A and B are shown apart, each in its own frame.
Chain A
Amino acid sequence: AIRMTQSPSSLSASTGDRVTITCRATQDLKFRLAWYQQSPGKAPKLLIYATSSLPSGVPSRFSGSGSGTDFSLTISRLQSEDFGTYFCQQYYSNPLTFGGGTRVDMK
């Protein structure tokens, strides 16, 4: 199975900050990498797919980049509704696997 490692596991930030989360895979994902946001008590929500594509309705302050085994999610200007936990997920091969999550909370 492909192992996904996220860093940091948590961070504290203020509204307006630029935040970057990284995700590393144990093999080349051929850009098949997604990111999800989860607010407390809620189901995850798709933020980015295919490394850098935003689904309809996701604000443009979210962006994704990367290739091969190294990927990142950037929030250009953190908003209050962005606090929560973020997960990366590879869908290059089964079993589908997730990173351990990055908790973003208020400084």
Chain B
Amino acid sequence: EVQLLESGGGLVQRGGSLRLSCAAPDFIVRGNYIHWVRQAPGKGLEWVAVFYGDGGTDFADSVKGRFTIQRDSSENTLYLQMEDLRADDTAMYYCARGVLNYFDLWGQGSLVSVSS
């Protein structure tokens, strides 16, 4: 069964913005971290960002300054806000639970396509 539920993907123009959602029950998230990992079409996996339980965040250099993470505790939802999108941001984006920073639970993925 899916325990991390993603939404918000779509087609956006270069330079545009998009917000992805990752809904996760509190018992899934508690004591762990939530990461975002992306996969460009036909390519491998790339770590993008992490949300720590205390509210801290960290980002890959490739998205630093353009992506942010917010949390809505009341809805048990995390949001990956993506700004100034580029063609090489085109990918399937997964949220995943990190246990000591390996990923034991994954969402189904949300596709982001950036057109030039």
A98 sits at the interface (CB 8 A)? yes
Q: Are A98 and B106 in contact (CB under 8 A)?
A: no
Q: Which residue of B lies closest to A6 (CB)?
A: B44
A46 sits at the interface (CB 8 A)? yes
Tell me whether chain A's interface is mostly helix, strand or loop, or mixed: loop
Cross-chain contact of B45 among A46, A91, A98 (Cβ < 8 A): A98
Size class of B's contact patch? Answer: 10 to 19
Q: Are A43 and B100 in contact (CB under 8 A)?
A: no
Distance in Å from the Cβ of B91 to the closest Cβ of chain A?
Answer: 13
List which B53-70 residues lie within 8 A (CB) of chain A: 58, 60-61
Tell me whether chain B's interface is mostly helix, strand or loop, or mixed: strand
Distance in Å from the Cβ of A96 to the closest Cβ of chain B?
Answer: 4
Q: Known interface pairs A43-B94, A43-B109. Does A97 touch B103 (Cβ–Cβ under 8 Å)?
A: no
Q: Are A44 and B106 in contact (CB under 8 A)?
A: yes
Enumerate chain B interface residues (CB-CB to A < 8 A). Answer: 35, 44-47, 58, 60-61, 94, 99-104, 106-109
Having A32-B101, A98-B47, one finds 15 other A-B pairs with CB under 8 Å, namely A32-B100, A32-B102, A43-B109, A46-B103, A49-B100, A49-B102, A89-B102, A91-B101, A91-B102, A95-B61, A96-B35, A96-B101, A97-B47, A100-B44, A101-B44
Enumerate chain A interface residues (CB-CB to B < 8 A). Answer: 32, 34, 36, 43-46, 49, 55, 87, 89, 91, 94-101
